[in-house]
């Protein structure tokens, strides 16, 4: 599709020249003879570029720039000026124009700038799209959980998201602590500023201060340039202190100091820099026990533990397993271009009774792996790893989730049974109905209710 250029220009000769020249280069051109016409055209369509004359009847082009940006914040504007005045040009750039031309100009010169300007617009659009996807990825609706305990977590999260309150997230490995920390950040008013993760155990002691607070050039051997520390990088955003339960006493002391004083200095620097950063900390350890054992400073514990979120292990909220499976199948389908419809009842029973020492992360790995490996549109025990598909004899017997809503369990089971019958009969509905002992009409209703794609099962 040809790029669309809006030309806002009153001189007829110039209109004609631009229209002809740009057409010849394959652009589509819309011409407006004055400011209000230009605005009207802009409201009616989307343009890849706007060529704006600085002197228009009754208004100067520069004063139009804010109005144009109001209608299309990503508009790329090239200003045309007859005066060659540096002052006007600077004003235009300050007002948000991309570049300017001084009349008379060579069309060849103009083409180069036009191409670059359109590229910039495309880049802006791509960035906007990526940002949208990023925010969507951290949407709360992508944090799956309908169990009572997870709903309690979501309730607290909702209350604290838009505040600056310090949050301590506790839970076993793989329960979703980082996911929740990110969701809090991307829903807070700090969302347009950085989310900086600091892994508190991964830093070598000698580099600790520089990692946290940055350093000035030449402050120690090897400090070739000024470097910003994590606290400075997280300015106006959120810093995520991960694995705080495992940090050394030296790190604890440094972090406590910055949390108390809310300011720091770069290594080798004299300037005091205030911090404007929200703190979210996470650990898979029992911090109060670590405090009792004198492994974690009590004063730091109280500073971090303003609001505590405890994410329960997956084995204590098994009713979330079917929802998570569905979610990860959806993700796997999109990622690997597959069309898996669900899991077979026997595979579901195995997944429900497994102990999940690696929690949601482990479940996600198994389901995504099975999604890739399965030739069948329904995931069966054979695509699950042996520890799940062949539980050791001493393992806990399959448990029904005690708090799961009966209606949901029934509906889930019903879907799995219908899927299983359809896949065994290669999607032939008459035969599947026979296997299930229901009429064809009832089967049709079931297929619709559970949104089963029968075509895929053939
Ligand atoms: N409730 C959930 N819904 C959807 N995905 C989840 C959920 N919980 C965790 N996950 C996914 O599981 C994986 C592990 O989550 P995350 O990294 O947040 O865990 P963690 O608690 O920080 O683990 P660790 O303590 O090992 O760092 C991620 O891919 C995350 O997207
Ligand atoms: Mg983590």
pLDDT at 180: 96
pTM of the model: 0.68
Nearest CA to ligand 1 atom 15: 176
- Give the range among 179-193, 226-240, 249-263, 418-432 with minimum mean pLDDT: 418-432
Percent of the chain with pLDDT over 90: 59
Residues with CB under 6 A from ligand 1: 143-145, 171, 173-179, 284, 327, 360-361, 364
Judge contact between 111 and 281, C-beta under 8 A: no
Q: What is the mean pLDDT of residues 434-449?
A: 87
Question: In ligand 1, which atom is closest to the CA atom of 177?
Answer: 21
Residue to substitute in 169, 178, 185 for testing ligand 1 pocket (most ligand atoms within 8 angstroms of CB): 178
Judge contact between 51 and 18, C-beta under 8 A: yes
Of the segments 59-73, 167-181, 199-213, 253-267, which one has the largest average pLDDT value?
Answer: 167-181
More confident residue, 237 or 418: 237
Nearest CA to ligand 1 atom 10: 176
- CA 415 from centroid of its chain's CA atoms: 31
Q: Which two tokens stand for residue 115?
A: 């191409």
The closest alpha carbon to 216, from 267, 163, 283, 278, belongs to: 267
The closest alpha carbon to 313, from 181, 179, 171, belongs to: 171
Nearest CA to ligand 1 atom 4: 143
Q: How many CB atoms lie within 10 A of CB 130?
A: 10
Q: How many CB atoms lie within 10 A of CB 96?
A: 15
pLDDT at 155: 94
Q: Which two tokens stand for residue 274?
A: 């205030």
- Give the range among 28-42, 92-106, 291-305 with minimum mean pLDDT: 92-106
Nearest CA to ligand 1 atom 25: 173
- Give the range among 48-62, 389-403, 410-424 with minimum mean pLDDT: 389-403
User: What is the set of domains in the chain, with CATH numbers?
Assistant: 4-134 (3.40.50.2300), 140-312 (3.40.50.300), 316-457 (1.10.8.60)
Residue 200 has pLDDT above 60, yes or no: yes
pLDDT at 206: 80
pLDDT at 404: 53
Q: What is the mean pLDDT of residues 194-210?
A: 87
Q: What is the mean pLDDT of residues 339-355?
A: 93
- Give the range among 146-160, 351-365, 403-417, 419-433 with minimum mean pLDDT: 403-417
Residue 401 has pLDDT above 50, yes or no: no
The model's confidence at residue 29, banded by pLDDT at 50, 70 and 90, is very high
Residue 31 has pLDDT above 50, yes or no: yes
Strands 49-53 and 55-56 turn out to be unpaired
pLDDT at 56: 87
Ligand 2 centroid to 180 CA: how many Å?
A: 10
Separation between Cα atoms, residue 188 and residue 112, nearest integer Å: 41
pLDDT at 400: 45
Q: pLDDT tens digit string along 325-334?
A: 999 999 999 9
Ligand 2 centroid to 123 CA: how many Å?
A: 32
Cα dihedral 78, 79, 84, 89 sign: negative
What does pLDDT average to over the chain? 89
Residue 402 has pLDDT above 60, yes or no: no
Percent of the chain with pLDDT over 70: 97
Question: In ligand 1, which atom is closest to the CA atom of 145?
Answer: 1
- Dihedral angle, C-alpha 265, 267, 271, 272, nearest 10 °: 0
Ligand 1 centroid to 221 CA: how many Å?
A: 39
């Amino acid at each position: 599709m040809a790029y669309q250029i809006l030309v806002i220009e009153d001189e007829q000769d110039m209109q004609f020249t631009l229209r002809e020249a740009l057409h010849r280069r394959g652009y589509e051109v819309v011409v407006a003879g004055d400011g209000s016409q230009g605005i009207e055209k802009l409201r009616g369509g989307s343009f890849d570029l706007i060529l704006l004359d600085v002197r228009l009847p009754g208004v100067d082009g520069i004063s139009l720039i804010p109005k144009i940006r109001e209608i299309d914040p990503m508009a790329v504007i090239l200003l045309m000026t007859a005066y060659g005045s540096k002052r006007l040009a600077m004003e235009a750039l300050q007002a948000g124009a991309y570049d300017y031309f001084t009349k008379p100009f060579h069309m060849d010169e103009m083409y180069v700038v036009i191409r670059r300007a359109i590229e910039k617009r495309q880049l802006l659009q791509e960035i906007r799209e990526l940002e949208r996807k990023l925010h969507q990825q951290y949407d709360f609706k992508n944090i799956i959980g309908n169990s009572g305990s997870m709903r309690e977590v979501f309730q607290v999260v909702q209350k604290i998201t838009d505040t600056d309150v310090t949050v301590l997230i506790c839970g076993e490995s793989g329960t979703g602590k980082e996911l929740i920390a990110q969701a809090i950040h991307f829903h807070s008013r700090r969302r347009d500023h950085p989310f900086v993760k600091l892994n508190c155990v991964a830093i070598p002691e000698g580099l600790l201060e520089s990692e946290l607070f940055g350093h000035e050039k030449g402050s120690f051997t090897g400090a070739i340039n000024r470097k910003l520390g994590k606290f400075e990088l997280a300015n106006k955003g959120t810093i995520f202190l991960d694995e705080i339960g495992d940090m050394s006493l030296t790190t604890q002391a440094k972090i406590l100091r910055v949390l108390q004083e809310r300011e720091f200095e770069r290594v080798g620097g004299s300037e005091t820099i205030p911090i404007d950063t929200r703190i979210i900390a996470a650990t898979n350890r029992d911090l109060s026990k670590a405090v009792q054992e004198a492994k974690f400073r009590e004063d730091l514990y109280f500073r971090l533990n303003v609001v505590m979120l405890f994410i329960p292990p997956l084995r204590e909220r098994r009713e979330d397993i079917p929802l998570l499976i569905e979610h990860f199948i959806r993700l796997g389908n999109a990622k690997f271009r597959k069309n898996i419809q669900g899991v077979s009842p026997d595979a579901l029973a195995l997944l429900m009774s497994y102990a999940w020492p690696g929690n949601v992360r482990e479940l996600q790995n198994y389901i995504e792996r099975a999604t890739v490996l399965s030739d069948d549109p329904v995931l069966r025990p054979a695509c699950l790893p042996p520890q799940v598909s062949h539980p050791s004899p001493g393992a806990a017997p399959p448990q029904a989730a005690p708090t799961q809503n009966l209606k949901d369990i029934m509906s889930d089971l019903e879907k799995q049974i219908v899927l299983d019958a359809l896949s065994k009969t290669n999607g032939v509905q008459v035969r599947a109905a026979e296997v299930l002992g229901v009429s064809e009409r009832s089967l049709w209703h079931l297929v619709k209710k559970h949104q089963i794609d029968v075509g895929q099962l053939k």
